[in-house]
Structure 1
Amino acid sequence: MAEKERQRLDKVLAHMGLGTRKEAKKLIKERKVEVNGELAQDPGLHVRPGQDRIVVNGEPVEYRQFVYLMLNKPQGVLSATGDESGQVVVDLLSPNYQSFHPFPVGRLDKDTEGLLLLTNDGHLAHRLLSPKKHVPKTYYATVSGTVTQEDVEMFRQGVILDDGYRTLPGCLKILRSGPESEVELTIYEGKYHQVKRMFQAVGKKVTYLKRIAMGPLTLDNTLKPGEYRELTEEEITSLRSLSQ
């Protein structure tokens, strides 16, 4: 690793999820941190993340550059990293994950639940969100109004939204049809309020919306709203292959 890639020890400790920079400095001051077998005394000591052996409280700690989290986003929480008007998804994370400064990949409306990917891997996020990739996103929805096979065909052809834009073809699956219908819808783009506007275009209203899949990721049904977990290596690999 090049000399210019060395980083301050307190910054590295914070990035490794061991607290804030202030808390990392306290660990060093309390003589609880070793680097390559020697007691660290200076928070400004420059180390090589991933190469130098760092031990805290007698336990070696592993440096990670990126973190990948699957969140079951609850209603009422904004898909953002900060907002003065309300709670954001990053607020749901523990401090050790917040220290990685993850951000949501794409957005879910405030009243929409379900699968949201959070990461600090900007390259992966950019590739997944690229309009050229047409990454599929699948939603479960309850809809006020009877969803018909005619609607299925209209969605298959792409519907014209209120601003005149014709969507890419979507795959609409009717789970239950009636005064209140249940459906699954897969779309390949991410226009503003797109699912709601697509049903509005056919004279119906979405009353509940939950994203259940994005690309190769399927929402872990053991996660309650507001809960999250790290992606498995297999899930990360599948996302990377999709974004190449």
Structure 2
Amino acid sequence: MIRLDKYLADMGVGTRQEVKRYIRKGSVSVDGKTVKAPEQKIDGETQRVAVDGQEIGYAAYEYYMLNKPAGVISATEDQRDRTVIDLIGDRKRKDLFPAGRLDKDTEGLLLITNDGQLAHRLLSPRRHVDKTYYARIRGRVTEEDVGSFAHGVNIGSGEAQEWTAPGVLEIIAGGEESEILLTIQEGKYHQVKRMFEAVGKEVAYLRRERMGTLTLDRDLKPGEYRPLTAEELALLKAL
């Protein structure tokens, strides 16, 4: 059971105070009957709520897979730049956030949700959740680099050392601009870029392909999104 005013505020109808005004002036109905008490408790799963005749469905949690485009920041709001939340046009909840972050110029898989418990399980270092990235690298990636990444590399600067946990580096194509897949279980600041800088190379393009059991949908173009399927969500929650 949930208060009527909280139900409507959660669904983005307005602020809590705005919603209370709508209710008191008779704009809100529950199961077809006008209700003027903001504190009235309702069952969000079985009862039908409408504002000025438009039904407002309730979603306690939302889960979206986004193919993040370059140039968009992984934040809930920003004064200058477009955020990943701005891309979710038909969201019901106003409390969505990105589960983890991708650099502004990085593309790929990002989970958008308001489920804080699930996000914590995915991001906690103690959970050892794999994150796989595709990258194009300026410079020839070698088997020596594969070995270095397998042991962990020092991404610190100057005399300050900062060692990464072991990562799995796979060379897809060699050459002056190599193509690779890298799987890591951490999320240090600019980690993938700093790992390659540590072995004298530079990331030219970076895209996250996978996070735990969730794999980027190839049908999603950069900037596009979709709700998670029931199977995807169940697998994530089982991690």
**Is TM (by shorter chain) over 0.5?**
yes
> Where does the alignment leave 5 or more consecutive residues of structure 2 unmatched?
none
CA spacing shift, 1:131–1:65, aligned 2, 3 Å: same
Is 1:152–2:146 an aligned residue pair? Answer: yes
> Where does the alignment leave 5 or more consecutive residues of structure 1 unmatched?
none
Per the TM alignment, residue 29 of structure 1 is displaced from its structure 2 partner at its CA by 5.5
The CA distance in 2 between the partners of 1:200 and 1:43, in whole Å, is 61
Is 1:105–2:99 an aligned residue pair? Answer: yes
Task: Report SS of the residue matched to 1:153.
Answer: helix
Task: Report SS of the residue matched to 1:195.
Answer: helix
Counterparts of 1:189-208 in structure 2, within 5 Å, are 189-208=186-205
- Counterpart of 2:84? 89
- Counterpart of 1:178? 175
The CA distance in 1 between the partners of 2:96 and 2:189, in whole Å, is 22
Per the TM alignment, residue 52 of structure 1 is displaced from its structure 2 partner at its CA by 5.3
Match of 2:4 among 8, 20, 27: 8
With normalisation by structure 2, the TM-score equals 0.87
Per the TM alignment, residue 98 of structure 1 is displaced from its structure 2 partner at its CA by 5.9
Is 1:115–2:109 an aligned residue pair? Answer: yes
Per the TM alignment, residue 159 of structure 1 is displaced from its structure 2 partner at its CA by 1.1
What are the Cα deviations for residues 62-99 of structure 1, in whole angstroms up to 9, with x where unaligned? 422100111111111110011223111111121x4163
Q: Conserved in 2, the CA contact under 8 Å of 1:105 and 1:119?
A: yes
What are the Cα deviations for residues 145-179 of structure 1, in whole angstroms up to 9, with x where unaligned? 00111111111111111241221111111111000
The CA distance in 2 between the partners of 1:51 and 1:216, in whole Å, is 29
Q: Conserved in 2, the CA contact under 8 Å of 1:69 and 1:229?
A: yes
Is 1:134–2:128 an aligned residue pair? Answer: yes
Q: How many residues align?
A: 233
Percent identity, aligned pairs only? 52
Q: Conserved in 2, the CA contact under 8 Å of 1:8 and 1:44?
A: yes
Is 1:47–2:41 an aligned residue pair? Answer: yes
Q: Which amino acid aligns with 2:79?
A: E
Task: Report SS of the residue matched to 1:116.
Answer: strand
- Counterpart of 1:75? 70
Q: Conserved in 2, the CA contact under 8 Å of 1:160 and 1:201?
A: yes
CA spacing shift, 1:225–1:52, aligned 2, 3 Å: same
With normalisation by structure 1, the TM-score equals 0.86
Per the TM alignment, residue 101 of structure 1 is displaced from its structure 2 partner at its CA by 1.4
4+ residue stretches of structure 1 with deviation over 4 A?
21-31, 57-62
CA spacing shift, 1:68–1:204, aligned 2, 3 Å: same
What are the Cα deviations for residues 93-134 of structure 1, in whole angstroms up to 9, with x where unaligned? 21x416331001111000000001111111111121111011
Q: Conserved in 1, the CA contact under 8 Å of 2:133 and 2:183?
A: yes
Task: Report SS of the residue matched to 1:160.
Answer: coil
Per the TM alignment, residue 138 of structure 1 is displaced from its structure 2 partner at its CA by 0.4
- Counterpart of 2:185? 188
The CA distance in 2 between the partners of 1:207 and 1:25, in whole Å, is 53
Task: Report SS of the residue matched to 1:239.
Answer: helix
Q: Conserved in 1, the CA contact under 8 Å of 2:131 and 2:184?
A: yes
Counterparts of 1:154-169 in structure 2, within 5 Å, are 154-163=148-157, 164-169=161-166
The CA distance in 2 between the partners of 1:48 and 1:27, in whole Å, is 14
